[in-house]
Amino acid sequence: MTERSPAAEEPPDHTNGSGQGKRRRRVHSHKVTISDIARHAGVSKTAVSFAFNKPGRLSAETTRHILDVARELGYTPNPVARSLNTRRTHALGVIVPQDIPNVLSNPFFAELMSGIGEVCKAEGMSLVIVPPMRGSLVEATYAALVDGCIVTGLSADDKAVRALRLRRIPFVMLDADAPEDIASVQVDDYRGAYLAMKHVLDLDHRNIAIASFEFFTGRVEDYTGTLRHRFAGYRAALEEAGASLRSPNIHIIECSCDVAGGKRAFQLAADLRPRPTAVVALSDVIAFGVIEAAHCAGVRVPEDLSVVGFDDIEASHLLRPALTTVRQPTREKGRRAAEMFIQMLRREGSADPQHIMLPVELVVRESSARPGG
């Protein structure tokens, strides 16, 4: 008679205080498969697959039984295989045009991701940052294992956006002039920029520097999306005051969208003659850099130089002097975009895409005053 291996034995029942027993299951030391689960649960492999991927196809009792057996056997589903079965990764990608270190160093993105993350948490989804891969956003777009994307900082005709269309997965654009067939969420950039420029003009500043995102062409006429709307707002406020973007005392300085960029913008502005008495920055982090560089150079803010930002990130009111800025609902923008994506995912893109415009407001604090004040 052949002796049974101990590894193949079923250990005896162990009883609890009520006298009822529960059998512990043990399998060989190889990796547990759905075949093992099916054998121990007394069901088919198809039923096991349904329990993990399509539980609605089984009764609640059967599903619970199969999952209990899988848990006892120590089964861990293969996420790649599961995504092939369900055609879902349960992950939302956020496409960003910058490298991850630059993204994570910008507090604006932290607030944006927080809003997106609220929805992902509620939906049981992962949040994946998708930066350029080997310098290519198109390559990163094709490689991203996600159910869909939120696109930031890109125009509708960008190659990466065209790649998303070819993949036929749902996506939402942020801060872009999206066509009718692409869902989008943006803020009223025109209004915000108008309010910022009008504020410094009402304070009697006439020598003004605009610290703008780098656009690489240096031509305002080529700006698109956020930049186009904000410069339209600046232009409208200047024209009301009898000036223009081409006036000799109005200067556009392009810089990177970070503190270092703001420091560089201040250095360039300091070399201008006459020296600007106000800097209007297109983001709070640029404004932070301007103020820090001004302090290091012995330039007082706002007595010698007024500084206005755009975003109203959390640190803006903690700065000294506290930053005058345009408040945009950054967390809400992220949350609304993620909610829109979830709706598209559930409807599988059958409904007409939504286009949401969120309001902005000017928040006047300590960093702006009349020239020489």
Q: What is the pLDDT of residues 160-173, one digit of tens each?
A: 999 999 888 899 99
Amino acid sitting at position 302: P
Q: How far apart are CA 43 and CA 22, in angstroms?
A: 19
What pLDDT, in 10s, does the model give residues 24-54?
A: 455 445 678 888 888 998 999 888 888 876 6
CATH (one of 1.10.150.120, 3.60.15.10, 1.10.132.50, 1.10.260.40) for 6-86: 1.10.260.40
Contacts of 70 (CB under 8 A, 6+ apart): 32, 37, 48, 51, 52
Residue 31 φ then ψ, to 5°:
-60, 135
Question: What's the pLDDT tens digit per position in 183-231?
Answer: 999 999 999 999 999 999 999 999 999 999 987 666 787 888 899 999 9
Place of tokens 């290091």: 296
Identify the residue with better confidence: 117 or 169. Answer: 117
pTM given for the model = 0.77
Q: Which residues pair with 150 in a beta bridge?
A: 94, 172
Average pLDDT, the chain: 86
**For the CA atoms of 281, 286, 292, 298, what is the dihedral angle to 10 degrees?**
-40
Please give the Cα distance from 303 to 371 (Å, whole number): 7
Torsion 183-175-118-363 (CA) sign: negative
State the Cα–Cα distance between residues 43 and 25, nearest whole angstrom.
Answer: 15
In this structure, what token pair is assigned to residue 151?
């696109």
Location of each CATH 1.10.260.40 domain in the chain: 6-86
Nearest-CA neighbor of 230 among 254, 260, 195? 195
pLDDT (0 to 100) of residue 15: 38
For 91-187+330-358, which CATH superfamily applies?
Answer: Response regulator (3.40.50.2300)
Query: How confident is the model at residue 4, as a pLDDT?
Result: 37
In percent, the amount of the chain with pLDDT more than 90 equals: 62
Over the stretch 264-281, which tens digit does the pLDDT of each residue have?
A: 999 999 999 999 999 999
Question: What pLDDT sits at residue 81?
Answer: 53
For 118-143, letters b (16+ CB in 10 Å) and e give ebbeeeebebbebbbeeeebbebbee
CATH 3.40.50.2300 in the chain, residue ranges: 91-187+330-358, 189-329
Question: Which residues neighbour 73 within 8 Å (Cβ) at sequence distance 6 or greater?
Answer: 25, 27, 32, 36, 37, 40
Which pLDDT does position 279 carry in this prediction? 98
Q: What is the pLDDT of residue 357?
A: 96
**CATH fold for domain 189-329:** Rossmann fold (3.40.50)
pLDDT (average), residues 137-164: 91
